A and B are shown apart, each in its own frame.
Chain A
Amino acid sequence: MSILAQNITKHFGSFVALDNVTVEAPSGQLVALLGPSGSGKTTLLRIIAGLESADSGSILFENQDATPHSPRQRNVGFVFQHYALFRHMTIFENIAFGLRVRHTPEPEVRQRVGELLRLIQLDSIEKRYPSQLSGGQRQRVALARALAARPKVLLLDEPFGALDASVRKDLRRWLRRLHDEIHVTSLFVTHDQEEALEVSDRVVIMNQGRVEQVGTPEDVYNHPANAFVLSFLGHVNIFHGRVQSGTAYARPHEIDLTRTAPAAGGTAAKVVWIHRAGPTIKVELTIEPDHQLMVVEVPRDRFAALELQPGEVVYAIPRDLRVFQDYQI
């Protein structure tokens, strides 16, 4: 079932949270709403769920207008950042809640909850309470609870935001596998670009209440629409005044370092710091006239050949410069 949020505008007092935003999640896809805090992504998700109402615009599920419907009628599954599990109910009862309020017969409830407990690989803990579970387990229970009543769509608000780094990574891969199994149209909010690019079929990048770019992870990473998208999806070096039509940008791995001055296009820079831990060596340099900082990622074999030392002056040659109109990062 597809989701379409059309021309949504929302103000909080004089603050514009969403400015005429249109976002679409095609049926069966996992779509990420990516943006910095304050970009309006969570507000948009809550408007789609019906927990918040838009000043103008409409929400359509499978081309049916759901704007006047209450969250109860919309039948969406919503997963909260801080789980929002019912703390006085067992895990079983938490998952069964959506079925119980619909007066589902008991045998059916048992069967469905058992199914979901197996799906989230937690069938041994159905009698425990949320406070006895780890963060990752709680979030899986929250997901099962949201799926219990077979919602039309699944909305996840920073689902891994409250977890530690290693659990986050495990859980987001698990979410991807789960989505491949159940194929419910899902929209998830995140501020973590790595998470969005790794998990989703499509990424919607938002900033200051507007959509900056929509596309597949590959699309938005390789062909950013503007300087904001470029800089938000990873570290980028800025070369002011190099190009007449605007500002030039290059990612750390798109720059070569050499000892000998190139014929054209190179910049003299001084090595100030070398990070040796990691798959590539990160070299921090300052560009001479105004001590502007630049980060370059050098492959290990290339670094071994160069034998760089802090304090040396080398030449940086961007392989690929992107030019955008003036933009302040």
Chain B
Amino acid sequence: MTEPDFWRTEIWHPLVLHFPLVLLLVSTVFQLVAVVNLKESAPFWQRAGSYLLYGGYISAWLAIYTGDLADGIVSRTICDPTVLKDHEIAAYYTAYIFSGATAVDLGLISGLIRRYRKVLRMGVFCLMLVGSGYLMYAGHLGARVVYQQAGGVKVPAADCTEYIK
């Protein structure tokens, strides 16, 4: 017997989801530093936070896509799919909120938005704070699906026959 194939459909979601998790949370921290930092380095933190936000925005929707693929498999096996549904809903809220923040931020950086820039900059930061809250909640629910219900996890036979060479 050989070890079961690793590249299953449901594996793509955990491979992708850590990118938005890190990028979006770190971008929020960078934006916070930019907001409270009145020194010359503030523009650096703000711009770095923006670039991380764009990466996080793209990877968040990739995580939604791969999560949707995994859902069709995992929902059939776990004992409480309502947790998975709540995870999905929280993930969509996260992606929508950070998409809104990305839209406004791109408008500010590209110069398309010329008025109320300070207020909008603060609005972007507030959106990112709320989005980070949803992101952590989505992560918590995702962890409950995996670690409490073995969602997407290949459970070996009790005698480990798959691993005997």
Q: Bound pair: A and B?
A: no
